[in-house]
Amino acid sequence: MSGPIEIATVFGLRCVVEPHAWAFDRSRSEEIDAHWAERRRANPALYDGPILLAHHVSRGEGGTLGVKFFPTRFSRFLAWRDFGFPDAAVYNCFSMPALRSADGAFLLGEMGPDHSAAGAIYFPAGTPDPSDLRDGLVDLEANLLRELEEETGVAPQDVRLAPQWTIVFAGPRVACMRIAQSSLSALELEARVSSYIAAQKKPELAGVRMAARRADLAEPRMLDFIRRFLEPLLPE
């Protein structure tokens, strides 16, 4: 993604669900349905499940990020993304575990052929959905740990989460990242996750990439905001 990218550190998230009348969905519903039918013909594995997008993101006092989510469906999100994010008042706000090895390398996944972003390289992630609701709040930490385990096989007890969140604002994307520290070396972590992927019948990831130095960020399929997040954390 091109355009300005801003990075901030916060120590808490307050994510609620609040109704929102999405003008994009109302005004372009037929076009969205046609787009979904076309994408499904090309990739029948796509599923039009319920998801949560954001209509308000703000940084409050005390180092907290406030997010107001609203329910929609994946077909609506996909059209919004593929049409170039036409509604600037809506955000794709999601969590990402930055899985780091004991020797400082980061593990990234290559999205598999059935994924809506097939071939792209970034941290394990998934758009939040109603299953992430806990006591009326959207629990992005639980979402982060679930996606990490589902995509890589690395369980919550296998990592230590950093206390702070790194929020990467990249246009309509708001990535809520948190370093997940592993006790395994880069070689051990890559081997473990690769074995997990190979054992799955329908893995979400086609493979993994380890980023140990800034030169590793030259991979053209790596998303820009991931590159910006990793640059200050890796040696030359």
Q: Report the 10 Å Cβ neighbour count for 121.
A: 22
Q: Dump pLDDT digits (tens) for 84-133.
A: 999 989 999 999 999 999 999 999 999 998 888 889 999 999 899 999 99
Beta strands in the chain (DSSP E): 6-10, 12-17, 50-60, 64-73, 92-100, 106-111, 121-122, 133-134, 137-138, 159-161, 165-170, 173-182, 205-211
Q: Are 35 and 79 in contact (CB under 8 A)?
A: yes
For 106, counting Cβ atoms within 10 Å of its Cβ (0-12 exposed, 13-18 middle, 19+ buried), the class is buried
Per-residue H/E/C for 20-42: CCCHHHHHCHHHHHHHHHHHHHH
In the chain, what are the domains? 6-233 (3.90.79.10)
The pair of three-digit structure tokens given for residue 174, joined into one six-digit string: 């708001």
Report the C-alpha gap between 231 and 236 in whole angstroms: 9
pTM of the model: 0.93
pLDDT digits (tens, 9 = 90+) for 11-35: 999 999 999 999 999 999 999 999 9
Q: How far apart are CA 123 and CA 224, in angstroms?
A: 12
Give me the percent of the chain exceeding a pLDDT of 70: 98
Structure tokens at 154: 């690395």
Q: What is the pLDDT of residues 139-172, one digit of tens each?
A: 999 999 999 999 999 999 999 999 999 999 999 9
Mean pLDDT over 203-211 rounds to 94
Whole-angstrom Cα distance, residue 161 to residue 99? 9
Residues paired with 6 in a beta bridge: 169
Q: Residue 216, class by beta-carbon neighbours within 10 Å (0-12 exposed, 13-18 middle, 19+ buried)?
A: middle
